Structure 1
Amino acid sequence: MIDAAMKPDTERLLELIAGLCRELRPGQPVPALTLNSELERDAELDSLARAELLVRIEAAFGVRLPQRLIGEAQTPRDFLRALATADSQALPVPESAPMLATGVTGTGEPAPDLLATLTEVLAWHAQKQPERLHLILLDEDGAEQRLGYGELLQRSRAVAAGLQARDIVPGDAVALMLPTGLAFFPCFLGILLAGAVPVPIYPPARPSQLEDHLRRHAAILDNAGARLLIASGEVALPAGLLRGLVAGLRGVVLADDLLACSASPTEEPAAGKDLALLQYTSGSTGNPKGVTLTHAQLLANIRAMARAAQVGPDDVFVSWLPLYHDMGLICAWLSCLVYAIPFVVMSPLRFLAAPQRWLQAIHDYRGTLSGAPNFAYELCLRRVPEELLSKLDLSGWRIAFNGAEPVNPGTMERFAARFAACGLDGQALAPVYGLAECAVGLAFTPQRGLQVDRIERAAFSTLGQAIPAAPDDPNPLRFVACGQPLPGYELRVVDASGAELPERREGRLQFRGPSATAGYWRNPQANAQLFCDGWLDTGDYAYLAGGELYLTGRSKDIVIKAGRNIYPQEVEEAVGRIAGVRPGCVAVFGSPDPASGTERLVVAAETRLTEAAALAALRQAIQDQVVELLGLPADEIWLSAQRIVLKTSSGKVRRAASRALFEQGLSEAKPRAAWLQLARVFLAGALPRFRRLVTLVSERLAGAWAVTAFSLLALPVWLGVALTRQPASAWRLLHHAARLWLALAGIKHEIVDQSGPATANARLLVANHASYLDGLVLIAALPAPGWRFVAKRELIRNFWSRVLLQKLGCEFVERFDLQQGLADAERLSEAAQHGHRLAVFPEGTFTRAPGLRPFHMGAFVTAARAGLALQPVALAGTRDRLRDGHWLPRRGTVRVTLGPVLDPGPLPGSEWERALVLRDAARATILAGCGEPDLQR
């Protein structure tokens, strides 16, 4: 029921929607709309049209509405509810932000090229110019939030500490499902500071596609092996459901909780070869694939793009691009991070709601660098008010990138013409080409403006030859030059056999360069298709002419019909202009004909028309357009009032998914209510969640039993050791007790003996240190009479540990008093020469994160000085069985590898040089046996 007081608002709202429908489809009947009508299905309003509707509602009612309604609102009733709670006193949307403060431009210093990782870049900026402004976030109201390098590092360290407190270790994948906001930046860098790998994914935007969104993301997270998902409060519920669908996902954490962490993180040094990003492709032509990119590859691509763009200290980058896509993440933000360029960023929804805000920000902040996909330039042509042109100054915009989707030459020509009145230089227009497999950028247009190649249609479609068309050719193909390869990169075009083609011959585009990915994450089938004799296949068709790159289409999308190559994009654009067809909701693809075995040309289009006569007329109009354009008809024209043209998060047509819908004989991709989609996802994950719960409870019970068994054994064993008179007797008792407890705890220990007959000669034992279990495992694995552990002197202060360790004959050393430490070293050397066998953990301590830490030199100097044989021992698995900060052991296997005994006697050189040789040899043996990374870099 509608409250009587709300009835006028209801009528005004429905009339606004009807008026927008009339504008979008002039001459077409307007559907009878109610508060429960589907905006997408009944009113045929896509996300761009809903953005326009939001602006009109705000203007008509004098209120501010949340921009998330662009994606979330499904019916007019959703807008009406938002109106009921909106602030009627809210000010209109500000169309101009304050001018950039002084000191923001012209003073930044780019990070030196010698820095090998993004974390080094961040630390360098924070140390050299901590107050330097890094970014300005324009929120929903246009207000500024600023962040400098020093504060960015501080927040990133808080996130790293929060991740480490949640058992994230180096190498773990951590997913980011965050909208554009201040939390994204420290969360991304905090993941890197923790030694983990960020996996950006897009937040759910449209309730009608929630289930599809979650299932696609579940496949991404499962492939990535993500251990944790960082989300915002707005998406906590759907994000939590992903845990039931992804076996390895241990939990979901809110970004605000990580930022609130006050602990200091453990430093996790990274190298250029380390993985820095898993960038999942959009899936416009298939299932998403995780592109692996290292620190070195990201920095190589960023530096190459900066050289091509001649980036300088006076540049300012303005962006609304999503941060979960490579163009917004790498080309925009990370490039600004490296080169200390002020980064002005707003939400994509803020841009969609009012495209002039993008241009206004370029004006207000004197932006010099900015870019977007082609649709954004088209949107500015349609939606930026004419009266605003006289108020915009775009003369400082020196590079206007156009990439991430096919560049329409008509769009760019009209954009240059219209905004020339604002001072826009036509030479600033820069079509570019890139792909995630190259980090982001591959080809870049020099500052010379738009260059369009007009070629003969017949020769190109049948022979793949890009022959320049005659000036009077009425129907040429037009392709935009996307520039030349970046410095250090190479392009080539090959035919089906892999042979390189000459200029102006179309074929598959391949590349190589310093940022070329090593492959897709855990996807050997896709990797087999990616590489060809050291080159990477882009999946695109193209030709080269005069050193310029011309893209012609995606290889998987091109339809081969009657010996001709048909390019879907061109047909989709033409059909989308026909009255009765929903703009942007056309997909053209090839589908095998079951009867003839040949490929059919299928045109799928969404329409509101339902009457048979109207549909027949529309079908004929589409066929006429296809014949006029291609010279041959479509085999199938699939019309529907429902959603049959599926799209990616960035708005690209998913032709493969639409083809699958067609071939399955489905009439539509049926939208379901959000609650029903959430319920289906919840039920799909219920069984996995139950299994994980059973496993968790089992592990906790087993851990509790292990602690109980330890408690029952501890006092009798301690009393037994206290009553012994000889260290050998104490060792035997502990040896048997340790074996008994390990068996009761479900921890199996394996011994790999590589030492040979020289074991008996060893007087010093060195082992890696990973857990509180290490001492027990060594005692259980090594035979009596055993070894004397070298322990820190602080343990003497505790009565229970002092008695136990003294009875074992342990030697205690001082860690903090230098003079006492030297005296202890001499004492240990004498003890070893007198026949005592000493066991040392040369790392000195352990942490929860895996990795072999640097070795202290004491044991190796002692061995070199006294000529004592040294036994390296590698412990594997103890950290997983009982990690630092945990008190419940886990069942499993630990392995003890006794390495070859090292004899310093025949080694040449000084005492110190022999000690270094011993250390390096022991470290190599332990690294090979412990299965953990080397942290000594």
Structure 2
Amino acid sequence: MSGIRTLADALDAQIDSPNGIVFIDGAHDERGLNYRMLSKSAEGRLAVLQQQGMRRGDHLILFVEDNMRFLQFFWGAIYGAIVPVPIAAGATPAQLEKLVRVWRHLDEPRIVAAPKHIERVRDFLEQRGEADAAARLADTAFSDEPPAADQPAERPVLDAQDTAFIQFSSGSTGDPKGVVLSHANVLANIQAISSGSRFGADEIALSWMPLTHDMGLIGFHLTLVYNGFAHHLMTPDLFARRPLLWLEKAAETRATLLCSPNFGYRHTLRAIAAKGRPELDLSRVRLIYNGAEPIAPALVREFLDTLAPTGLAGETMFAVYGLAEASLAATFPAPGRGLRTVSVARGELGVGDTVRYDDSTHALELVCLGTPVAATEVRLADDNGQAVGDGVVGRVWIRGANVTAGYHDNPQANAGALMGDGWLDTGDLGFYHDGELVITGRAKEIIFVNGQNHYPQDIEALLQDLPGAELNKLAAAGVQAPSTTEQALVLFVVFRGHLEDFAEIARTLRGALNQRAGLVATRVLPISRMPKTTSGKLQRALLARQYAEGEFDEIAARLDTLLATEEAEQPVPASTDIAAELKRICDEVVPGRDIGVDDDLFEIGLSSLELAQIHEGIENRWPDRLEMTDLFEYPTINALAAYLQDEVAPA
């Protein structure tokens, strides 16, 4: 569109559009904002920010759970040339730690958050003995439901090269790595996404991806605003509790555009297996954007096959490659082409390796991710920066109008990524097959879990206060499961005693990881020594390869038997009728796991999605009696039963 040079221009251009956003808070609970209302409320939030003393170029951390409030503040900041910094809001130690690290990295800017979250992060710092920092942070924070300002907003003139917002690496609680994006960067990518998707005149979108993620914010909000399309936003928490509602709303709204990474398809399939496939019409769906983590072809095919009776076409799956450094999109296939894959031999996918195609059952199936989107270049380079030929693995470099100029105040990260002449090393490895990019993995050791990147050193740091997990005695690694690109998280612990004594360490580490970061360790395994390079770096990749090749199979089986025997020998205390109902709910969500009435739900390796499903089951039986956060206070079946019995008198 001509005349649009900034994101503010893009919203202003849609003020007279009949379309807007519907915020889905439940099956029958929705709120709406057309684009005129969004613009007006954004100006109101800008007035609040300016009354708080914020000016052009200031950073504003958005730690806001509610999607409508998030967008009102986001656009208010955009209108005022204030730089919004989205951070996923939550109550886990990992989420609070990330907020604190980003706040410090940005020199303690203002934070907008719900009062409960402000109180939580303040308590978090005080409990660490950082009372002064807690007080300063509380002084910089203000409520996401502020009173109206006394004076109207003053909108400055914006420039295309102004910083629009900063995206901090998802999933990392380590040193902040903020991708700085200008208005020009984001708009270039939006235009490329629009042309590469071959949008029609009246697309309708539905997303449950968080607005703190580039797919959620840029792909399923900003791009839709730019085009004036109607879109519907669910919260990730609602999707976690009710995945079938995603499909029901897609049918109800006649959505043409959907999106989800791997774990969303898996979660939906589990719900279908438990409750049956709903009778829906999904024939209007044109594209399902699949990215944010390595794509699992078998899972995609199962999802499409399961939903084929609803009219969902197999060609709707739109496997894409992107990253925050590219604003969002880097390569797209042809829309309507459907999933295309190639099978290659494992173990021969290092930089400079010539790919060996392999159709055997042991081969690795990888997804073809199309060609560069408009105004973007992709180069595959060897370790010396020289281009490699087709069928040869190289480092994936990108450059273009959509690519960031660098990371915020992070010389080390910039030195490692910026290659000169506009090129940026993504950290990914890949090769070209029939003209399409195929990603083989990460050059470094980032672990992909549930659509987010997790740095192994961050996971290790979260557990270093526990026995057996001291520095350099614990290694976290992402291990590629057979025949998929899905990764399992495995913890390796230096231990030289009897295996019987290791069982308690494994149980403690798995429980602590789940409680502190919401992650599930597939295995916790003892190793006699920690492999290191000559410079002293942990060789996580070596451990992962040994695990994938079966070197730990015997000890894993012995440990499984030991843990199962110990659990069977535990006495089962008497439980109330409420506890029996709660146990039934847990058993339905996690079949095959005999959860004891005094087992801590956060220490037995349940995923955050399974915990959300348990909460949904409780909500269905005792509506409005238990908040999701109450599970942290009453983490066992017996404790929950006592709470429901004594405190809320269940119906």
| TM-score computed with the length of structure 2 as normaliser | 0.70
Q: Give how far 1:509 is off.
A: 0.7
CA distance in 1, matches of 2:489, 2:100: 33
* 1:339 is the counterpart of 2:279: no
What does residue range 11-410 of structure 1 map to in structure 2 within 5 Å?
112-126=1-15, 128-129=16-17, 132-205=18-91, 209-210=92-93, 212-240=94-122, 244=133, 251-257=140-146, 260-261=148-149, 263-284=151-172, 287-384=175-272, 389=277, 391-410=279-298
Match of 1:453 among 342, 357, 368: 342
Q: Which among 478, 486, 489 is matched to residue 373 of structure 2? A: 486
Instruction: State the structure with bigger RCO (CA 8 A, min sep 6), 1 or 2.
Output: 2
What is the CA distance between 1:599 and its match in structure 2? 3.5
Corresponding letter in the other structure for 2:408: W
Distance between the aligned counterparts of 2:45 and 2:175, measured in 1? 31
Partner deviation per Cα, 1:360-414 (whole Å, 9 max, x = no partner): 1110001001101111011111212587546111111110111101100110111
Distance 1:157 1:226 in 2: 24
1:505 aligns with 2:404: no
Q: Is the 8 A contact 2:108 2:140 kept in 1?
A: no
Deviations 1:757-804 (A, max 9, x none): xxxxxxxxxxxxxxxxxxxxxxxxxxxxxxxxxxxxxxxxxxxxxxxx
Preserved contact between residue 552 and residue 567 of structure 1 (Cα < 8 Å) = no
Q: Is the 8 A contact 1:218 1:246 kept in 2?
A: no
Q: Hey, what's the Cα distance between the residues in 2 that align with 1:461 and 1:413? A: 28
Aligned length in residues? 500
Structure 2 stretches of 5 or more lacking a match? 126-131, 448-476, 491-505, 511-518, 548-553, 564-600, 612-630, 635-651
**Letter of the aligned partner of 1:568 in structure 2?**
V
1:568 equivalent to 2:497? Answer no
Counterpart contact for 1:374–1:407, Cα < 8 Å: yes
- 8 Å contact from structure 2 (residues 98, 173) kept in 1: no
The answer for the alignment partner of 2:558 in structure 1 is 616
Partners in 1 of 2:162 and 2:608 — Cα distance? 30
How high is the TM-score relative to the length of structure 1? 0.49
- Given the alignment of the two structures, is residue 424 of structure 1 paired with residue 296 of structure 2, yes or no? no
Q: The residue matched to 1:430 in structure 2 has which SS?
A: strand
1:161-197 CA distance string (max 9 Å, x none): 1111111010000111111332111110001122210
Judged with a 3 Å threshold, the aligned counterparts in structure 2 of structure 1 residues 645 and 326 are, in CA distance, closer, same or farther, namely farther
Gaps of 5+ in 1: 1-111, 560-565, 606-611, 622-640, 652-671, 676-937
The 3 A distance-change label for structure 1 pair 144 and 594 is closer
Shift of 1:568: 2.9
Corresponding position: 1:464 with 2:353: yes
> Cα distance 1:452–1:251, how it changes in 2: closer, same or farther (>3 A)?
same
CA deviations on 1:612-647 (whole Å, 9 max, x unpaired) are 9986254999xxxxxxxxxxxxxxxxxxx9979999
Relative distance call for 1:482 and 1:156 in structure 2 (3 A) is same
1:584–1:433 CA distance, 2 compared to 1 (3 A): farther
Which residue of 2 is the match for residue 893 of structure 1? Answer: none
The answer on whether the counterparts of 2:98 and 2:172 sit within 8 Å (CA) in structure 1 is: no
Amino acid paired to 2:539:
E
Structural mapping, 1:387-786, within 5 Å: 389=277, 391-446=279-334, 447-457=336-346, 459-460=348-349, 464-469=353-358, 471=359, 473-534=360-421, 535-557=423-445, 568-570=479-481, 585-586=521-522, 592-593=531-532, 599=539, 601-602=542-543, 616-618=558-560
Decide whether aligned partners of structure 1 residues 591 and 246 sit closer, same or farther in structure 2, where only a CA change above 3 A counts: farther
Q: Which residue of 2 aligns with 1:771?
A: none
Equivalence for 1:10: none
Matches of 2:533 and 2:402, distance apart in 1: 43
The answer to whether the Cα contact below 8 Å between 2:478 and 2:488 also exists between their aligned partners in 1 is no
Alpha-carbon distance change, 239 to 160 in structure 1, aligned in 2, over 3 angstroms = farther
Q: Residue by residue, what CA displacement relative to the aligned partner does 1:670-723 show, whole Å, maximum 9, x if unpaired?
A: xx9889xxxxxxxxxxxxxxxxxxxxxxxxxxxxxxxxxxxxxxxxxxxxxxxx
**Percent identity of equivalent pairs:** 30
CA contact (8 A) 2:291 2:322 kept: yes
- The one-letter code of the counterpart of 1:187 is F
- The root-mean-square deviation of aligned C-alpha atoms, in Å, is 3.7
2 CA distance for matches of 1:474 and 1:204?
A: 42
When residues 642 and 506 of structure 1 are mapped into structure 2, their CA distance, relative to the original with a 3 A threshold, is farther
Shift of the 458–593 alpha-carbon distance from structure 1 to 2, 3 Å rule, reads: closer
Based on CA coordinates, which of the two structures has the bigger radius of gyration? 1
Deviations 1:450-474 (A, max 9, x none): 11111123544697222222x4x23
| 2: CA distance, partners of 1:515 / 1:647 | 35
- Following superposition, the deviation at residue 295 of structure 1 comes to 0.8
Q: Measure the CA separation in 1 of the matches of 2:535 and 2:162.
A: 51
How many angstroms does 1:533 deviate by? 2.7
What is the 5 A alignment of 1:851-866? none
Using a 3 Å threshold, how does the CA distance of structure 1 residues 160 and 381 change in structure 2: closer, same or farther? same
Helix, strand or coil: the match of 2:282?
A: coil
Q: CA deviation at 1:141?
A: 4.9
**C-alpha distance after superposition, 1:822-846 (max 9, x if no partner):** xxxxxxxxxxxxxxxxxxxxxxxxx
State the shift of 1:426 in Å: 0.8
Read off the aligned partner of 1:512 and give its amino acid letter.
R
Distance 2:521 2:238 in 1: 23
**Could you say if the C-alpha distance between residues 449 and 285 of structure 1 is closer, same or farther in structure 2, counting changes exceeding 3 Å?**
farther
